[in-house]
Amino acid sequence: LASPDGSTRPTIFAEMTALAQSTGAANLGQGFPDGDGPEWIREIASAAIRDGANQYPPGRGIPELRQAIAAHQLRHYGIELDPEREVLVTAGATEAIAAAVLAFAGPGDEVVTLEPFYDSYAAAIAMAGAAHVTVPLVPGPDGFRLDSAALDAAVSERTRLILLNTPHNPTGTVLSRDELQLVADAARRADALLVTDEVYEHLTFDGDAHTPVATLPGMAERTLTISSAGKTFSLTGWKIGWIAGPAELIEAVTAIKQFLTYAGGAPFQPAIARALVDGDADIAELRDSLSARRDLLVAGLREAGFEVVVPGGTYFVCADAAPFLAEGDDGAAFARALPGRIGVAGVPISAFCHEGSAAAQALSSWVRFTFVKDERTLRTAVERLRELG
């Protein structure tokens, strides 16, 4: 029972969480909040269970949630969607990504992503039998930025789709409008579809606003936008995600989704529908508190001696562990030893790269830490990181 990359290993996130648990380490590895989402949203789901929302919901999602997703896209970004035909509810963003890749890419096709990339991208592309081509994001004075020459080299007439991610896991990069325009131009030149994973859309800092690719001129017709309530409302275990875009593309994704999960999350759907309509204050509070926690961790990592790229968004900060590597070690060896050594868990950036790729080599000493943990956990981690010096 091997996964598409031929390995039977658990994902790096599961591995690091298990390691953090067995060593009692502060878990800055897997990106999930260590608190609950807002109580009023959880209450709606509890009431829905009491009131009988316990059988299969409609495969495309309950109408109330599809309407709320369409209203959210309109209110925040001016994107107009028909909730009947242009919105599909999925089992988290993960299912949306897999269903979109399986719907549009197959043997002989190329799918382009940034590198480092979220781990499920490589698996979904492999399941589809397509080839995975990447555009490295390499750190410079302005953070991890898109290289337009690398983008042009990667996108060709063989490109079936570009699977983009902004705000970006693991680097925390929020792609600028100019960078997005480069991607949009490349997609149009290659006549490729754009699938954008925007699960961290609301988690941006320093007034750095997220721009959905679908809002760029002429892009709505070739763009599918993915997001998830897990990140926006700190309810990652509910696995309520969605994908939105042109009706005929959503129809193709629905055809795949119905044989992946068919439907899911019946009692969570009405709760997320209300959250998307009435939850803006909760989103603002999360963004502000996350921004403060980012500052705490960035300062702690710097004091401990790491080089850090300050993230514009997401749950994550990337740090170069080069000063702390033992002879012959890389970031992966460092990250695997760290919980036992000082009681802190992180994830090596190489886990988000193809083995031996240019990005993997350039980032071989880098580690990702998450700051979506309570302040006490972060302070404990920062104190322990000082022991490295």
Binding site for ligand PMP (CB under 6 A): 31, 92-94, 118, 165, 169, 197, 199, 228, 230, 236, 239, 241
What span, in angstroms and rounded, lies between the C-alpha atoms of 300 and 212? 32
- Considering the complex, state which of residue 17 and residue 324 has its C-beta at the smaller distance from ligand PMP: 17
- Considering the complex, state which of residue 30 and residue 166 has its C-beta at the smaller distance from ligand GLN: 30
Cβ of residue 246: shortest distance to ligand GLN, in angstroms? 27
Cβ of residue 191: shortest distance to ligand PMP, in angstroms? 25
Long-range contacts at 129-137 (CB < 8 A, ≥ 24 apart): 130/101, 130/105, 130/106, 130/160, 131/158, 132/354, 133/159, 134/354, 134/357, 134/359, 136/357, 136/358, 136/359, 136/362, 137/168, 137/171, 137/173, 137/359
- Considering the complex, state which of residue 134 and residue 236 has its C-beta at the smaller distance from ligand GLN: 236
What span, in angstroms and rounded, lies between the C-alpha atoms of 281 and 257? 32
Joined tokens for residue 217? 């001129």
Cβ of residue 249: shortest distance to ligand GLN, in angstroms? 25
Q: Nearest-CB residue to ligand GLN?
A: 31
Q: Which residues pair with 110 in a beta bridge?
A: 131, 159
Cβ atoms of 134 and 154 within 8 Å: the answer is yes
93 binds, among ligand GLN, ligand PMP, none (CB under 5 to 8 A by kind): ligand PMP
Q: Nearest-CB residue to ligand PMP?
A: 92
Unique residue bearing structure tokens 């902004």 = 166
Joined tokens for residue 13? 């996130």
Cβ atoms of 16 and 335 within 8 Å: the answer is yes
Cβ of residue 243: shortest distance to ligand GLN, in angstroms? 17
- Considering the complex, state which of residue 13 and residue 77 has its C-beta at the smaller distance from ligand GLN: 13
Cβ of residue 30: shortest distance to ligand GLN, in angstroms? 5
Joined tokens for residue 357? 């790729």
Cβ of residue 232: shortest distance to ligand PMP, in angstroms? 10
What span, in angstroms and rounded, lies between the C-alpha atoms of 232 and 276? 9
What span, in angstroms and rounded, lies between the C-alpha atoms of 160 and 130? 9
241 binds, among ligand GLN, ligand PMP, none (CB under 5 to 8 A by kind): ligand PMP
Parallel, antiparallel, or unpaired: how do β-strands 143-146 and 131-140 relate? Answer: antiparallel
261 binds, among ligand GLN, ligand PMP, none (CB under 5 to 8 A by kind): none
- Considering the complex, state which of residue 96 and residue 220 has its C-beta at the smaller distance from ligand GLN: 96
Cβ of residue 153: shortest distance to ligand PMP, in angstroms? 24
Binding residues for ligand GLN, rule: CB under 6 A, are: 11, 13, 30-31, 169
228 binds, among ligand GLN, ligand PMP, none (CB under 5 to 8 A by kind): ligand PMP
What span, in angstroms and rounded, lies between the C-alpha atoms of 100 and 255? 10
115 binds, among ligand PMP, ligand GLN, none (CB under 5 to 8 A by kind): none
11 binds, among ligand GLN, ligand PMP, none (CB under 5 to 8 A by kind): ligand GLN
